[in-house]
Amino acid sequence: MIQKRLGVVDVFFEELSYNRNYLLGFFLLHVMEIGVICCAYKISISKQVVYDENGHPDLKSVSRQKDSPSHSFDATSEKQKRKELKKGMLIVSFHRSTQQFHHDALNALSEFMKTSPVKVLIKNSKDLRDVEPHKLVILFVDFNNRNIILENEDTEIGSLRNDTTKVFLSLKCDVFVVYCKDKGSQDLPPNNLYNPTLQSIEEHPVLSELKRNNRVLTINDKFHPRQVELLKKSCQQL
């Protein structure tokens, strides 16, 4: 009898041990699933961070992007296509703090003042929708630590500079993108319009297309002679 009871007790503890191991395994599996989900989320967020002109995460831009409708670019493009393309030059800046610097750099061109350029600040998609397109558009992009000239659509939440460039190109504007305050552009070789170490100029689809047409310029604080001649020629065609 005693042996029989001991046998029952042994079976009971074996089942208890089995169930305990099963529950422990089940718990660990779910902990691992939660860990994988959290890691994937963090990686996704890290790829989608927008950076300001100093290369720091711009949380305000992230918030604005989340509130933006997915069809914002298409809506902007359609609205702009209904506008008449104006003669003259449009100077685009994306940060108020450096807007005057952009104007001063262009003031070195004698032809620049003759065109009576329109100067605009584009901080969001609404600004882009409201701006009047012109035949010649010069977009100034300020130096940032990651050397993001135009955003990559696959890895960035913000795409204002890229969208702005694409909208004006779709309107058949003559678009220049000028990346400024780049120290590597201080002493460019005479025939170079841009700093060749900036890989995004070759890799970004919009920039690479502009580069083929000599429409990407990089400067530190002033334009180089060949860049000046190219801009003068475009001004004279207005």
In a domain, 38, yes or no: no
In a domain, 6, yes or no: no
Q: Are 176 and 138 in contact (CB under 8 A)?
A: yes
In a domain, 153, yes or no: yes
Residue 103 confidence (pLDDT) above 80: yes
- Residue 163 lies in domain: 59-236
Q: Give the pLDDT mean for 106-135.
A: 89
Residue 116, pLDDT score: 84
In a domain, 36, yes or no: no
In a domain, 49, yes or no: no
The pLDDT tens digits for 39-63 are 454 444 444 444 454 544 454 544 4
Distance in angstroms (rounded) separating the CA atoms of residues 94 and 121: 6
Q: Are 217 and 179 in contact (CB under 8 A)?
A: yes
Would you state the torsion angle of the CA atoms of residues 107, 220, 162, 203, taken in this order, to the nearest 10 degrees?
140
Residue 133, pLDDT score: 94
Q: What is the CATH number of the domain that holds 113?
A: 3.40.50
The pLDDT tens digits for 137-176 are 999 999 999 999 999 988 877 899 999 999 999 999 999 9
The pLDDT tens digits for 187-223 are 999 899 999 999 999 999 999 999 999 999 999 999 9
Residue 219, pLDDT score: 98
Average predicted confidence (pLDDT) for the chain: 79
Band of residue 93 on the pLDDT scale cut at 50, 70, 90: very high
Domain count, the chain: 1
In a domain, 179, yes or no: yes
In a domain, 53, yes or no: no
In a domain, 45, yes or no: no
